[in-house]
Amino acid sequence: MEAAVTTCYRHPSYETYVSCTRCERFICPTCMREAAVGHHCVDCVKEGQRSIRQARTVFGGAVPRSAVPVVTYVLMGLNVLAYLAELVRPGVVDRFAMLGGGLVGPDGGQYLYVDGGLPGFDVTGVLDGEWYRLLTGAFLHLPPGESSFGALPFGVLHIVFNMYALWNLGRVVEEQLGRVRYLALYLLSALGGSVLVYLIAPLDSTVGASGAVFGLAASFYVINRRLGRDMQAVNRFLAGFLIWMVISAAFTSWEAHLGGLLTGALVTVVYAYAPAQRRTPVQAAGCVVLLAVLVLLVVLKTSALTG
């Protein structure tokens, strides 16, 4: 008497005599997964993975299965793409740079904002409801011919230095915070830098990821203190950022640097010292409260400027 033919439960056309050691269903080589004893089927492997608690960092971020800093690379890519867009269409800077208030004349040129505006001139910037500038300006950089630093165009150095700093800091901070918390930190730091620009120098037009990068620098400092690491090496590393802040202030906005630094420090303090029992809700609430404060500051400043 011939034995009954058994086939794979996922591929009925494949004859097989090997079964899953957990559910005992027959599986073909395509569906086999190595186990400590025998083989498991695909469904049993997935079920087992769901029952395993995902590892998390001290700050509550999920430890990624891949060591690739995906968010950091995406942010760098967006900055580079925005810079290429500037080269192709220089008007992108005027349209999306951080600008508190300005005037667009009948000739299409941009002019300094005058209280109450001027006849025939249109108001532009955050004052005119263009709130998106608070974030889009953080993804733009000085055009190549904007100004010079020695014999080199500072516009090129602007994006090169910022992307180099983002690559160095972002990988470490993203690994410790996790992707979602890291992205929230980056965007809030960029926003905090723009808000301080709006509060102190609302008529200035600024661009650059420096505010977000300085937020990462502050986060890097808080993370290392929270983990109890040797701060001497960290202090030496961050001293270079302070030097860069002083030098670049002559070409960009020190207000954006300082605003990003303070915002990044506040966000990471919330991340680092939230109680373990309610870590995620407290961290989320802290970010929401900080965002609300930044929005309120913008509203109050707009009200003061428009009278």
Distance from C-alpha of 29 to C-alpha of 19, rounded to nearest angstrom: 10
pLDDT digits over 198-213, tens only? 999 888 888 989 899 9
Distance from C-alpha of 186 to C-alpha of 195, rounded to nearest angstrom: 14
In order of 42, 70, 171, 247, 277, the CA distances from 74 in angstroms are: 32, 6, 12, 28, 32
pLDDT band per the 50, 70, 90 thresholds, residue 196:
very high
More confident residue, 133 or 230: 133
pLDDT at 245: 67
User: What is the percent of the chain with per-residue pLDDT over 90, rounded to a whole number?
Assistant: 36
Task: Indicate the length of the chain as a whole number.
Answer: 307
> Mean pLDDT score of the chain, rounded to an integer?
83
Domain range annotation of the chain: 1-52, 70-306
pLDDT digits over 88-134, tens only? 998 888 889 898 876 665 655 565 555 655 555 566 788 888 899 99
pLDDT at 220: 92
pLDDT band per the 50, 70, 90 thresholds, residue 285:
very high
pLDDT for residue 3 is more than 60: no
Enumerate the β-bridge partners of residue 124.
102
pTM beyond 0.75, yes or no: yes
pLDDT band per the 50, 70, 90 thresholds, residue 194:
very high
**pLDDT (average), residues 291-301:** 96
**pLDDT (average), residues 48-60:** 68
- Which distant-in-sequence residues (6+ apart) come within 8 Å of 197 by Cβ? 98, 100, 204, 206, 253, 255, 256, 259
CATH number for the domain formed by residue range(s) 70-306: 1.20.1540.10
